[in-house]
Structure 1
Amino acid sequence: MQDSCNYYQILGVSSTATQQEIKKAYRRLVRRYHPDLHPDNPDATDRFKVICEAYQVLSDGVKRRQYDEEFQPQPNQSKTESMTAQDFYVRAVSKALAKNYQGAVEDCNQAISLNPRFVEAYVERGAGCYKLGNARETLQDCNRALRINPQFAPAYYYQGRARYRLGYTQAAIDAYTQAIAYSPNHAKAYYQRGLAHKDLKEFAGAIADLKQAAQLLREQGDKTGYQLVQETLRTLKHTPGKRGVFTKGNPLAYLMGLLGDTFFTIKSFLLNPMGGLLPSFARLDSQRAMVVGLLLAAIFDAFFVWGIYTGWRDLVSVSLVPLIGVGMIPFIILAAMSAIARLIRRHPGSLAGDSFLAGATLTPLSILAIANGISSYMPSQLMVIITVFTACYTVLTLYSGCTQIANLSEKTAALVVPVMVLVSGWISYWAFTAMLGMASF
């Protein structure tokens, strides 16, 4: 019997928790860690298996008493020495749930040392390496797992995720296909394969995979995942280039299509930056994604200029052209730093993605620019509230873009995002004050 506190730790409750507290914790974990809530999250089948196992034991009074009675407290060292490979694996899963990926990898190392043919431990270790940004280690662990069990679908799925991150899109599709062959109800594999088909502009295959993913999620009762896939499917069906309406041969229609893409993007992600940004980007080809990013930046710039002229007209006297240039600086810096981060970390992506990410990040700040223009007519408390909300949405959008579009790992994004915010903010402030200094002469 494994250490009883493992089950309590997995659910995040104390050993004296009531049944109501256990049920509440279980529901919270399901809502928070469902594998289809966030597109960038790896498949969490094993994690949910452990969560369900813990809940089934702790929610049953008889099983819980038996579980607690069989637990014999031991010193930490002897307890570790007595742990089996399965115990280390369960603890690794609980650490991964708490986003302690390094600890999860270390426990998987222990499990594998005790059982070198522990397929699930290899895959769990690979998943941890993926979250830590080491896709090549993920590939190695998946290959080791497949040598032991060539029909283990999760290993093919993670193999696909790692290949995709490394830029091998067709090879990722092949891996997802294998995962689906051995697990026909693997909704996440269908979804990811659909996104990979979209990247290769294989729109028919992308739509077919997304439809299958949606059907499976609906049958499995995953309403959140179903809605996410349906949103991606709807946007993909209207991808320019699939239909002849928005073509360069018709400039007016092409322009209207770009404006439609831009406002659809704003509507999709502005109130849901974590779940709406990737589907908005996925519906666009590279050229249109770059243009939409530029249009979003232009919208911010227009509101920035308007806010300065309207709100600070008695304090600032500058010409229009320099002010427009200052308003474009944050976009240029954010796009450049996104590209640099990708190149340093050797993650796939594109300049179109960097442009889209930078423009989307500035969109919440457009609201702040508008508020700045009418700040003299608003209570100061309201201005503070607007500032806090737009700042939070800006950071969430940037983080979402770094992990989902620039394909940076969560660990890398957590370091890169504040640097991007600070550098772009400082350079913009320096340019603005320099412009004011030149205008005063």
Structure 2
Amino acid sequence: MNQDYYQILRISHRANLEEIKAAFRKLARQYHPDLHPDNPEAEAEFKRICEAYEVLSDLAQRQLYDRTGTPEPRDSAPNAYDFYVRGAKKILEKNYRGAIAQYDRAIRLNPNFVEAYLKRAEVRHKLGDDRGALEDCRLALAIDPNYSDAYYYQGRARYRLGYTQSAIEAYNQAIAIEPDDGQAYYHRGVAHHDLNEMAMAVKDWQTAIAMFQAQGDGSGYKLARDSLRRLKKQRWRWGENPLGDGFFGASRIAGMTLLTLWDVARNPNGGLLNAYLRLDRGEAVAVGTVFAAIANCAFITGAFWGWRKWFIYSFFDLLLVGLVPFLALTVLGAIARFSWRRSGSWAGDIFVAGLTVLPTGFLALASAFSTQWGLPVAVALTVLGSSYTVLILYHGCTQINNLPESVAAIATPLFLLIAGWLTYIAFSALFF
């Protein structure tokens, strides 16, 4: 039984090429396999959508289909859309290199396959190849200058390369073409926030919330809602004392510190970014410094209670040693940002470093009681604290310092090793 391609794309028989393209883009987003893992029905529908688009977007094939009701017979060799679908499956398997290889083959068979360029740009962005993503966006826009997704990924790549204002311009173009693109609004809000344009960030996130809600995008809705809920208009400028309001300023920082701790403890992935987005630079520095101070106090307390029979040291000696990992992680984060030309700031480096050393500080405190608690409890606390340390630093590298996932996977253990090594050197110099 032949399928009605017009019905599959939900368009009339009089639809022009632009209407066919628009219908395909909308449905392809809705049924794309990487949005519906382990759902064979969605995958089958996606294939039907690709098949319908392949026929109706080609004038000769469409005329034949309109006359006979059947498409032109295909040979058994895979076509560009087959490789496109295979690329989507590779993404589901997180085999990103394999996905790129499939999109390469699709583009070789059909050099005007805009969607393949854009999926390849998306995968390259995931791998940290933002310049490659920008090139794919350029090629896609050369074929179709009115493709909003090309501007969207252009904005994502530019932002991570540190070109924040240029990223906003790309998001502007994406929104001008597709005014209901909630993701473009959300990420433009992130870019405005990065530039301390708080009122514009609030407006973009409010719009994104409404769009995500209308479109039934639960994860996008929650992300934008939480970002907006926690965002406050900038009250302190860089270089001013964030505790300048006296008691009320200190109370505000204490409240933000507790909220951040709650968010990150519940979810080191999403909670870390949401906590950071509600802070301006002065607040991020203050909160990160508070966490570092708490970690250092925990370390000093644990050392005085549990280690004095092995070492002779002063409070000042311990204070200096306890500062080493915090300072090391702050500097290493900045070096990584500059090396890969990523957007971000010293405030983000301090915020991530302060949170990263917190679990280690509590582990030092817990070590003073390890003999009373016994080995099983000590091992459990060590695993828990170490896991949080790694998760916080990794997600801080990817979400706040905007490092590629592949770079963050190497940087996380490397940073911890360097910070630990420097701490050991400081400890040895003071106590031996």
Question: What range is the shorter-chain TM-score in?
Answer: 0.7 to 0.9
Cα drift, residue 406 of structure 1: 0.8
Cα drift, residue 429 of structure 1: 2.4
C-alpha distance in 2, partners of 1:281/1:186? 24
For the 8 Å contact 2:161–2:342, the answer to whether it is kept is yes
Q: Corresponding residue for 2:137?
A: 142
Identity of aligned residues (%): 43
Cα drift, residue 216 of structure 1: 2.2
User: Equivalent of 2:33, from 50, 63, 83?
Assistant: 50
Alpha carbons of structure 1 residues 249 and 291: separation in structure 2 relative to 1, 3 Å: closer
Alpha carbons of structure 1 residues 48 and 392: separation in structure 2 relative to 1, 3 Å: farther
Amino acid at match of 1:50: P
Task: Out of 197-206 and 98-107, give the one that drifted further.
Answer: 98-107
Alpha carbons of structure 1 residues 48 and 365: separation in structure 2 relative to 1, 3 Å: farther
Alpha carbons of structure 1 residues 88 and 239: separation in structure 2 relative to 1, 3 Å: same
Deviations 1:6-29 (A, max 9, x none): xxxxxxxxxxxxxxxxxxxxxxxx
Q: Corresponding residue for 2:425?
A: 430
Alpha carbons of structure 1 residues 275 and 249: separation in structure 2 relative to 1, 3 Å: closer
Q: Corresponding residue for 1:209?
A: 204
Q: Which runs of 5+ in 1 are unaligned?
A: 1-44, 64-80
Please tell me whether Structure 1 or Structure 2 has the larger radius of gyration of its CA atoms.
2
Q: Corresponding residue for 2:53?
A: none
Q: Corresponding residue for 2:395?
A: 400
Deviations 1:117-172 (A, max 9, x none): 01011111111221222212211111211121222221111011011112221221
User: Equivalent of 2:147, from 137, 140, 152?
Assistant: 152
Amino acid at match of 1:338: G
Deviations 1:376-424 (A, max 9, x none): 3312201110110111111011110000111100011111111111111
Matched, 1:89 2:84: yes
TM-score normalised to the size of structure 1? Answer: 0.78
Please report the RMSD computed on the Cα atoms of aligned residues, expressed in angstroms. Answer: 2.5
C-alpha distance in 1, partners of 2:336/2:43? 45
The 5-angstrom pairing of residues 235-246 of structure 1 reads: 235-237=230-232, 240-241=235-236
User: Equivalent of 2:287, from 277, 286, 292?
Assistant: 292
How many residues in Structure 1 have an aligned counterpart in Structure 2? 372
Cα drift, residue 86 of structure 1: 1.1
Amino acid at match of 1:228: L
User: Equivalent of 2:406, from 398, 402, 411?
Assistant: 411
C-alpha distance in 1, partners of 2:172/2:307? 58
Amino acid at match of 2:205: L
For the 8 Å contact 1:337–1:420, the answer to whether it is kept is yes
User: Equivalent of 2:165, from 170, 177, 182?
Assistant: 170
For the 8 Å contact 2:155–2:166, the answer to whether it is kept is yes
Matched, 1:185 2:180: yes
C-alpha distance in 1, partners of 2:283/2:414? 28
Relative contact order (C-alpha < 8 Å, sep 6+): which is higher? 1
C-alpha distance in 1, partners of 2:242/2:426? 39
The 5-angstrom pairing of residues 31-50 of structure 1 reads: 46=29, 49-50=32-33
The 5-angstrom pairing of residues 108-119 of structure 1 reads: 108-119=103-114
Deviations 1:83-112 (A, max 9, x none): 211122112222223222222222211111
Q: Which runs of 5+ in 2 are unaligned?
A: 1-27, 49-75
Amino acid at match of 1:55: P
